[in-house]
Structure 1
Amino acid sequence: MIFSRKRAGAGRHARDQRTEALDANELAEPVIPGPPDRGPYDVSEAPAGVQRLDLGSLQIPAVPEVEVRVQADPQGVIQQVVLVHGQNALQLGVFAAPRSEGIWDEVREEIRQSLFNDGAAAQEADGEYGTELHARVRTPDGLTDLRFIGVDGPRWMVRCVYQGAAATDPAAAGPLASCLEGLVVDRGHEAKPVREPLPLRLPREVAEQAGPAAAAAGEAPREA
């Protein structure tokens, strides 16, 4: 290493240059990322002017030929949301997550282990939203393919399960994929335990139309 002696003013000049560069960096406007190109969106980033079915923590975009089926209790609290198009189905769930990191990696491993314990093998694969989980399970109707997708957002995670041809061929998802890309999550500001399901409720007008008998039956179909 070679050291050289500089004039007394050189060091100050160098410091002044560094200071000017630092000041310029500090004065530069921060780069603010724009909204994502597709959903699921946080409610703070959701595009305006889109008709959606408001289920509380989830807002589902209106997509032609997609039926929204919900299982709810007599009070209108939703236990399950399934979107149906032809022979394909997409089950949706939304959960609280930490502010600092996503939880899909951990949840995916727990799903894989649960399937393994039930005698079903599951494999990871790369998908449009990152790492997916593909499995084939035995049901009363025979073997069924499932495709699990997780999307981590700001303090929330959406879990999706495709059934039908869309479970093995993403191109077959069609309008269901459009629903997922337009989905909006309203996390709310309340503190919630990690992985706790976020509250879902029937819209008031739907609950009133369905009535106690329909809610007790557990299904209130609605065209999105």
Structure 2
Amino acid sequence: MFGRRRKKSGKPEGATDEFETEESGNGTADPGAGSAEDQHFKLPPAPRPDGPWDIGEVAEPGKGRVNLGGLYVPGVEGMELRVEVAGDAIVAATIVLRDSAIQLQAFAAPKREGIWDEIREEVASGITKQGGVIDEQEGALGWELRAQVPVQLPDGKHGVQVVRFVGVDGPRWFLRGVISGQGAVQPEQAGLLESVFRDTVVVRGDSPMAPRDPIVLKLPEDAQMVPEGVRQETVEEGSRFAGGIDKLQRGPEITEVR
């Protein structure tokens, strides 16, 4: 589903994270093998001493946060909270603050193996194939990708959109953020969005899930739906990680004022 490279084995497709965990511990590949480009993108996942948090690490996850089921998202005064729907499931939430936004999406991951290093490689490969430019840097949220992605403008001309891909591996989950707007063009202005990412709580649950399956979200009980209006530039994904950047129809919106 995501193009993740896996070793050939006799395990059936759709294996749960328990299968993945056992497989990841039996590899025989030379850790020093691979091209310089592979080693450049396959860097250790960022630690999370300041978050984002697992549900088991927070005493009161609902305090000051919006309950979206699979995520507890910090409430910030004046923010818009938009949800993204795939089929019948809500799989992502976008927080808009003034002229910047961050899209949050959580996924299942193996028990003892982070996936952010592989995802960075996949994202970088997908964008460079489109003719975009990738710069990998260590930012406030750990290792991230800063991308200049070709897009078609409303007048038909070709332009470039700047976005930042950030991610953190947690216990059996991975949280990805895509920062757009001024928070991507001028990262020093993204402090509030970065704080939202850090203070997000992920609810993985105990049900078996295949690695990289999205953790499904839900609307909060007091959600106020806003009619669809002007479209906003955000991330369009051919896969959930490595797709292009273009204009998406905005999903249902929730306005939270705290």
Between structure 1 and structure 2, the one with the greater Rg is: 1
Contact persistence 1:66–1:175 (CA under 8 A): no
Partner Cα distance (2:141, 2:124) in 1 = 18
TM-score between the two structures when normalised by the length of structure 2: 0.65
Q: Paired residue for 1:92?
A: 104
Structure 1 regions of 5+ residues with no counterpart? Answer: 1-35
Structure 1 position 73, deviation (Å): 7.0
Q: Name the structure, 1 or 2, with higher relative contact order (CA <8 Å, separation 6+).
A: 1
Do 2:91 and 2:105's aligned partners in 1 also have CA atoms closer than 8 Å?
A: no
2:251 and 2:103 mapped to 1: Cα distance? Answer: 15
State the Cα distance separating 1:218 from its structure 2 match: 3.3
How many residues end up aligned between the 2 structures? 184
Match 1:50 to one of 59, 63, 69: 63
State the distance in 2 between where 1:112 and 1:202 align: 32
**CA-to-partner distance for each residue in 1:165-212, whole Å, 9 max, x for gaps?**
211433201321221121000110111001111111112442xx549x
Which residue number in structure 2 is paired with residue 33 of structure 1? Answer: none
Residues 121 and 45 of structure 1: CA distance in aligned 2, closer, same or farther (over 3 Å): same
Segments of 5+ residues of structure 2 without an aligned counterpart are 1-47, 154-158, 229-249
SS of residue paired to 2:253: coil
For the structure 1 residues 100 and 74, does the alpha-carbon distance in structure 2 shift closer, same or farther, using more than 3 Å as the test? closer
Q: Structure 1 residues 74, 193: closer, same or farther in 2, change over 3 A?
A: closer
Aligned Cα RMSD in Å?
Answer: 2.5
Matches within 5 A, 1:138-177: 138-141=150-153, 142-177=159-194
1:68 matched to 2:117 = no
Q: Report what 1:221 is aligned to.
A: 254
Q: Are the equivalent residues in 1 in contact too, given 2:130–2:150 (CA < 8 A)?
A: no
One-letter code aligned to 2:251: G
- The separation in 2 between residues aligned to 1:96 and 1:156, in whole angstroms, is 4
Q: How does 1:66-145 map to 2 (within 5 A)?
A: 66-72=79-85, 77-141=89-153, 142-145=159-162
User: In structure 2, which of residues 205, 221, 232 is the aligned counterpart of residue 188 of structure 1?
Assistant: 205
Tell whether the 8 Å contact from 1:124 to 1:132 is kept in structure 2 after alignment: yes
Runs of 4+ in 1 over 4 A off after TM superposition: none
Deviation at 1:74, TM superposition (A): 8.9
Contact 2:182 2:190 (C-alpha < 8 Å) held by counterparts: yes
